[in-house]
Every structure is written in structure tokens, then in C-alpha cells.
A and B are shown apart, each in its own frame.
Chain A
Amino acid sequence: MTTMHSNTPKALFAALCLGGLAVYPLAAGNYGLDLVTKIMVYAIFALSLELLVGATGLVCFGHAAFFGIGAYAAVLLSPESSAGQLLWLLPTCVAAAAAYALFMGALSLRTQGVYFIMVTLAFAQMAYYIVHDTPLGGGTDGIYLNVKPVLAIGGTPWLNLDGAQPIYFFTWACLVAVFLFLGLLLRSRFGRALAGIKANEQRMRATGFSTYPYKLAAFVISGAIAGLAGFLFGVKDGYVNPELMSWHLSGAVLIMIILGGLGHLRGALIGAFAFALLQEFFKSEAIFGAFAKHWTLGLGLTIIASVALLPNGLVGLPAQWRQRLLGKARGVAPAGEQA
């Protein structure tokens, strides 16, 4: 049983990470600020998928659709030559992603297992081809956001997202809010029902839970949060293209949560950072020279090795070390190596 005592180090770790991110801009240059903003956006995106995969056991392979819809909506709904109002723009973008999640979830959740994975991929590809092959999304060239949104109340601008620091802190605030929200959600009665569905859906139905509405609600919440991440990405870069809805991105965010450790919110955080930093590392010409253009090879091999050596992801690393040390102290091999 998870106790408050055992939760304290985890909460402390999360607080330290999020606190560290809050003071990071004091020491960072523009490149670092932009990179960490991007990673925080990925972290929100990964947290949204963690709710589905890690908490509910639904492996969605079309999550980029919601991310892309949030990003495209941010650009398409913003006025062409003046700043959009954040107060309505942000909720509208999130609602657009949630609406597509409702549509996708209502149909795809009638399937299970590999069929569910394939149906979610198909829905994401539908969204991809809508922006790729129609004038709506500007085709492969994508579209630009000319003026970044502002938060203005009573004619007074309180926050202008045009600038590295404002978008950084706004993204940080969103990340903290999403993390806390999901933390509360997973401890709630709704969250425990999701955990039950993940563990044994048949038993949940026999107990009296109509599981479909629970899964659909989780799907919509997850899509909405992914839409928020997409909105932030679109605003940060001021540019969107169909790649934001591609299956590559759906795959990348899955890898992030697997790398971090499924079933843990902090795993999604760690996974997003690890994935993005590994990507930067293998792309670095200063380190790899001409080989840097083959960065996907190094990244892929590292991820394969990580998944093979860290069955519980990076969050499971301390426990794995502890087990190894205890095993050495007692003169026996760790459990996984005994056979």
C-alpha cells in the first residue's frame, strides 16, 4: 500500500525539479531557455499520455493528433495582424483538441488491444492528412503565427507571450498546474477506478463499474491536456506544420513515458527531459562531428538499451540500484538475475 511516508520523497523530488525549472532562467541563455521551454511542452504532452497509457492501460498511438490540433487552432484562430486574446484563445484550442478526443475516443474505445492502437493511429492520420492535403493547414509548408497572444484584462495587457521568458514561465505554470491536477485526479475515486480498469477491466465490470464512460472521460481529459501542450508549442515557435500530427510524434511521446517509467507522473517528466536531451546530445556536431547527422541511430540504440536494462524506466533506477546493493551485501544476485 502506498503510504504518505513513502510518497514524501517522490513529492520532494517533483517539487525540486519544478522549483529548479522556476529559477533556471536566471542562469540560462536564449538557446537554453528555448530548449527547456520545448522540453516542458513535451513534458505536458507526455503527462497527458501517461494518464491514458500508464494510469488507464490504453495504449494510444494517435496522440499527436490532439497536440497538432491545439497547435493549429492556436495559429488559425489568432487574428492575422493583431494579438489574440489568451483568455478565450487558450480554452478554445484546448476544447478543440478535447472535441476531437471525444470523437476519436467514442469510436476507438469500442475496440481493445492492438485494434485500439491501430484505430487511434488511423484517426490521427485522418487529422494529419486534413492539414497536409488541404489549404486549411497550409499543406507541407505549414502556417505562421504572426502575432503572439496576450492576456489582457480591461484593455490592460497583463501577459504578452511574445518573448522567451514570458512563454517559458507560462509553460512552466501550465506544467505545474497539469502535474498537480493529474496528481489529484489519480488519487481521486475516478483515478482509482482508472487504476482498477488498467489492472482488470473484467473485474471492474463485475463489481458494478460501467467502464466505458470512465475510459472516455480519461481519453477526453488526456486529449485536452495534449491540446494545451500543442497550443504552447504553436505559440512558442510561431509556426506549425503537419509533422506536429505525424505518427512519429505519437511514437516519440510513447517512448518518453516508457523511458521515464510507466505508471508514474514523474516518469513522464523525467522521460520527456531524457528523450529531448538525448536527442540534443546525439545531434551535437561538437561531440559527434559528421556522424551527428545520423543522430537517430544513436538515439534509437540508447533507447533500446534503456528499455532492456531498465524495465521500470528511469524512475525505477534507484530501486534497481538499491536491490543490486542489497543483493551484493547479502551475497546473492538481484532477483532478475537469479535465473
Chain B
Amino acid sequence: MSEVLLRGQGITRRWGGLVAVNDVALDLKRGEVHAVIGTNGAGKSTLINILSGEIPPSAGTVQLLGQDVTAWSQPKRARAGLGRSYQRNTIYPGFSVLENCRLAAQARTPRPWHWWQSAQACSASNTAARQAAQQAGLGDVLASPAGSLSHGQKRQLEIAMCLATAPQVLLLDEPLAGMGAEETERMLALLATLKAGHAILLVEHDMDAVFRIADTITVMVNGVVIFSGAPAAVRSSPEVQAAYLGGH
């Protein structure tokens, strides 16, 4: 049985009278891609924000590697092995690809605040940054300014920055957004290789891609999980058909 790296139980988030996420439970296991799908406003991004520690839940708990991290800040969770990417590019456009990854890697090194040592001279950060960039398929553009990359490469850089922090769990918020067919294929190939060593939560609107890559799919509607299971089971669920897929 796969090892559960991240467990959310009873996760609820209320904004005044609005319940954005209601009593959601999910397990992310090493070696699996767990996709969360749903219409806009279903609560997918709120769920990712709660799991990553960006916003606190109104109720429920989050466990990372068997430890209750519900009260932990986002940076502390990130240092403990939780990496996330955003819907929009959050790269540093003025930095080179290597610098983007090096800065991310710096967070996991001892004394990341060192005020005397040159950032460029930190061998631990450099090694981790190069490995992450290579893994994400950006080994040939290390010196390029991040702002000059293609959209697909920028999304790859988002993933590379996550990888540079040596995460065990990856929370990916629409990594395929705005990508062309070729770039999508490249990203799916990357996710397939990352799957082996990580637990991946994938929030994505590209249903073809989701059904190709996901091992488990959770369907959310109005903050509630209406179905969770293997892709084949999701596809054949009348409840999901009616609420979301529309005969996909």
C-alpha cells in the first residue's frame, strides 16, 4: 500500500455565510497523482491554499508526513516538504532560470539568511538548483532571464522552483493553464516522472490531461466532494456526469 504523505480531514473554510470548502477529506500518497476537478468556484484553489498553509481552515486538520501541521505557517510547511505552484506564474522574471531555482533552494539550506556569504557561492543551493532545473527540462536555459522564457517554460520553471526545495508533496494549481498541445505533452511527461518520488495534488481544467495522468480523481461542486475514486469510476459515475463532466 502506498505511503500517505499528506492527509486532510474534515477541511472546512467559511467566508462569513459562504462555505467555500465543506468537510473535505483526502489522502495524497507517494507515487500517485490525485487530481481535484470541479467548476470555477468549486473550492479547489481554496483547498490548495488550506493544505499549503496559505489560509487557515475554519475546521479540520492537515497532516504532513504523519505530523499535524494545521497550525503551522506556510513557510514552515514548505520547509517540511510541501511544495506548491500557483495558477499564475510566480517566477522572478528579472532573475535567470538558475537564480530562480537557487533562491528556492536557498530556503532549505542552513542559514538561508546568511548576510555575508555570496548567494552565488553557495554550493548546496547551486547543486540543488541545477538538479531541479535539469529535472524540469530547463537545463539548457539556465542562464536565460526567466522573463524571456516561453509560457510553457515558465510553467516548467514553477515546477523546478518547487523541486529545488526538495519537497515530498507537490500541490500544483493548474500547471497546464494556457499551454499548447506540445507544451502540455512536455508537462505531462514531467509529471509522470515526478510521480515516482512524490505525492502530487493536481488541480486542473484540462480533462483529457487529468484522465490520462491521475490515479485518483476527486470531484468538487460548491465546496463539497461529490465523488472520489479511480478515473474509470469517475467517468462512469452518473452523479459526476450530471454535475460536471457533461458526457465527457
Contact = CB atoms under 8 A, between A and B. Distances in A.
A206 B115 contact: no
B125 to A, nearest CB: 8
A189 B104 CA distance: 11
B176 interface: no
A208 B143 contact: no
A190 B116 CA distance: 8
A208 B114 contact: no
A199 B95 contact: yes
Contacts, number: 99
Contact of A199 (B75, B86, B93, B102): B93
A208 B122 contact: no
Given A189-B115, A196-B103, A213-B113, A205 B92 contact: no
B166 to A, nearest CB: 10
Contacts of A214: 113
B73 interface: yes
A209 B107 contact: yes
Contact of A1 (B118, B125, B143, B165): B143
B75 A205 contact: yes
Contacts of B93: 199
Contacts of A192: 99, 102-103, 106, 119
Contacts of A189: 106, 111-115, 117-119, 122, 125
Give the interface size bracket for A toward B. 20 to 34
Interface string A174-212: 000000000011011111110110011011111111110
B119 A188 contact: yes
A1 B143 CA distance: 6
Contacts of B117: 188-189
Interface of B: 52, 54, 73-76, 78-79, 83-84, 86, 90-96, 98-99, 102-104, 106-108, 111-120, 122, 125, 143, 145, 161, 165
Given A192-B119, A193-B103, A207-B103, 20 more contacts: A1-B98, A187-B119, A188-B118, A188-B119, A189-B115, A189-B118, A190-B113, A190-B114, A191-B115, A192-B106, A200-B90, A205-B73, A205-B74, A206-B52, A206-B54, A206-B83, A206-B86, A207-B161, A214-B113, A217-B113
Interface of A: 1, 184-185, 187-193, 195-196, 199-200, 202-211, 213-214, 217
Top 9 nearest A-B pairs by Cβ distance?
A208-B107, A1-B96, A208-B78, A203-B90, A190-B115, A192-B119, A199-B92, A208-B79, A210-B75
